Amino acid sequence: MDFGVICIDILTGLSRGLLYFLIASGLAVTLGTLGIINFAHGAFYMCGAYIAWTVAHLIGNAMGVFWMGAAVGGATMFVFGLLIEFVLLRRIYAAEHLYQILLTFGLVLFIDGLVLEIWGGLPKSIFQPEYLTGSLSVMGHPWPVYSLFILLFSAALAIGLWFLLHRMRFGKECRAAAMDREVSEALGINVSRVFMLMFGIGAAIAGIAGGVGTALDSVSPGLGVRIIVICFAIIVIGGMGSLTGALMGALTLGMIESFGWHYFPDLAMLIPYILMAVILLIRPQGLLGGR
Least confident of 14-28, 75-89, 191-205, 274-288: 274-288
Q: pLDDT, tens digit, for every residue of 142-173?
A: 888 888 888 898 889 888 888 888 888 888 88
Q: How far is CA 7 from CA 1, 84, 226, 271, in A?
A: 12, 43, 28, 21
- On whether the CB atoms of residues 70 and 208 are closer than 8 A, the answer is yes
3-state secondary structure of 241: coil
User: What is the rounded CA–CA span in Å between residue 248 and residue 55?
Assistant: 33
Per-residue confidence band for 63, with pLDDT thresholds at 50, 70 and 90? low
Per-residue confidence band for 47, with pLDDT thresholds at 50, 70 and 90? very high
Domain contains 130: no
User: Which has more pLDDT, 62 or 257?
Assistant: 257
Domain contains 126: no
Q: pLDDT, tens digit, for every residue of 252-276?
A: 888 888 887 777 777 777 777 788 8
Domain contains 136: no
User: What is the rounded CA–CA span in Å between residue 233 and residue 147?
Assistant: 22
What mean pLDDT do residues 97-101 have?
83
Per-residue confidence band for 2, with pLDDT thresholds at 50, 70 and 90? low
> Residue 142, Cβ neighbours under 10 Å: how many?
11
Instruction: State residue 1's pLDDT score.
Output: 56
What mean pLDDT do residues 82-111 have?
86
Per-residue confidence band for 93, with pLDDT thresholds at 50, 70 and 90? confident
Q: pLDDT, tens digit, for every residue of 6-35?
A: 888 888 888 888 889 988 888 888 887 777
Domain of residue 191 covers: 3-121+141-282
Q: pLDDT, tens digit, for every residue of 184-197?
A: 888 888 888 888 99
What mean pLDDT do residues 217-229 have?
85
What type of residue sits at position 215?
A
What mean pLDDT do residues 204-209 have?
92
Q: Who contacts 145 (Cβ-Cβ below 8 Å, separation ≥6)?
A: 132, 133, 134, 135, 136
Share above pLDDT 70 across residues of the chain, in percent, rounded to a whole number: 97
Reported pTM: 0.90
Domain contains 187: yes
Domain contains 168: yes
Domain contains 135: no
Domain contains 129: no
Per residue in 205-215, is it b (16+ CB within 10 Å) or e — as a string?
A: bbbbbbbbbbb
User: What is the rounded CA–CA span in Å between residue 276 and residue 267?
Assistant: 14
Bridge-partner residues for 143, per DSSP?
Answer: 136
Average pLDDT, the chain: 84
Q: Give me the number of domains the chain comprises.
A: 1
Instruction: State residue 72's pLDDT score.
Output: 93
Residue 208 has pLDDT above 70, yes or no: yes
Instruction: State residue 291's pLDDT score.
Output: 60
Residue 81 has pLDDT above 90, yes or no: yes
User: Helix/strand/coil (H, E, C) string of 38-64?
Assistant: CCCHHHHHHHHHHHHHHHHHHHCCCCC
